[in-house]
Structure formats: structure tokens, C-alpha cells
Amino acid sequence: MTDDETALIAAAQRNPADFAALYDRFVQPVYRYLYSLAGNADDAQDLTAQTFLAALETLSRYRHRGHFIAWLFRIAHSKAMDYFRHKPQVALDTAGHQVENADPLADIVYREEIGRLAALIRSLDDSQQELIRLRYVAELSFAEMAALLGRREDAVKKSLYRLLARLKSQME
């Protein structure tokens, strides 16, 4: 956690109006993460709002024991699991952006490769999909992921790199 982040947290704990700075800093990664789970903007926006409301309400109890973003993502994950308890999660491939290529043949090849990769990702267990979501959708650092997952940073790196190597070999 940076000194700037620590100062923002302390200010927000003293004055809830200062929470806006924390919101501005973290809303995009939280929204992207929740969108990757929900698969649509309306649900992701609702979950993002619920996450930040819960964070604001419990900020006075937050203690600087690591990464603030890990604490925030625990709240986001909890809100998403509560919200979607009876709904299936959306596959990671729906959270990506489609790229239009001027070359129709290249576009077809690209779509086929994305389809194969999406199928491989869907075949992963939930914890493996979560590693991909946290790193590439929410864009968390390895240290932040480790704090969130309650694991050592080197263990998180090793797990993700092994997973990526396995996906790469399956794609080839």
C-alpha cells in the first residue's frame, strides 16, 4: 500500500465525504471484476454500488494490515456471491472486447482462437478462473492477489504461470 493510499484511507475514516477519492481510485478495477462475473452492465453497476456502500459503512473497522484493494475485493466477491447465489456465473469470454479486423479471414481465425481459449477457460475450476479474473480483468498485482487470496505472493505467481503455461500448451 502506498503512503498516498494510506492517507486517503485515514482521511475517509475521519470524514466519510473523503471516501470519494478511494472510490475514484478503485471503481474501475472493481467494476471490471464484477462485470466479468455478471456479464452485463446493469448487474455490475448494482454490485459495484453495493460493494462501495458496504466498504463505506465498514471503513471505520478497516485496519491497515495489507492491501486496501484486497479488502475491497473481498467485499466485492462476497456481494457477487450473495447476488448470484442462484444464477450461474458468466464465462470470462463474455467480459472481453471484440476486435473487428479489416481482413475477414484474419477475423475468422481470431474468433476461432478466442472460442478455443474461452472453452479452455470454462473448463478450469473456479479458483483457477478467479486467478485469471483477478490478474487480467481486475488487473491486480501479485501482492494484491496474494493478500486477497490469503496466500504467499510467490505461490500466487507460480499458480498463475503454471496455469498460463498449461493453457498455452493446450492452445498449441
| Domain limits, the chain | 1-88, 97-172
Q: Which pTM does this prediction carry? A: 0.73
Q: Give the whole-angstrom CA distance, residue 33 versus residue 40.
A: 12
How does pLDDT run across 32-51, given as a tens digit for each residue?
A: 999 998 888 999 999 999 99
Tell me the mean pLDDT in the region 2-7: 82
Q: Give the whole-angstrom CA distance, residue 114 versus residue 117.
A: 5
Give CA separation, 120 vs 113, 115, 164, in Å: 11, 9, 11
Query: According to CATH, what is the number of the domain 1-88?
Result: 1.10.1740.10
Q: Alpha helix locations (H) across the chain?
A: 3-14, 19-38, 41-58, 68-83, 104-122, 126-132, 142-149, 153-171
pLDDT at 3 (0 to 100): 75
pLDDT at 98 (0 to 100): 47
In this prediction, residue 172 has a pLDDT band, given cuts at 50, 70 and 90, of: confident
In this prediction, residue 100 has a pLDDT band, given cuts at 50, 70 and 90, of: low
**Lowest-confidence range among 63-67, 116-120, 145-149?**
63-67
Query: According to CATH, what is the number of the domain 97-172?
Result: 1.10.10.10
How does pLDDT run across 85-96, given as a tens digit for each residue?
A: 866 555 555 444
Q: Is 107 left (phi over 0), alpha (psi -120 to 50) or beta?
A: alpha
With 0-12 CB in 10 A as exposed, 13-18 as middle and 19+ as buried, what is 138? Answer: buried
Q: Which three cell numbers stand for residue 90?
A: 458468466
Q: Is 4 left (phi over 0), alpha (psi -120 to 50) or beta?
A: alpha
Tell me the mean pLDDT in the region 79-108: 66
Is the model's pLDDT at 159 over the cut of 90? yes
If DSSP states are collapsed to H, E and C, what string results for 121-141?
Answer: HHCCCHHHHHHHHHHHHCCCC
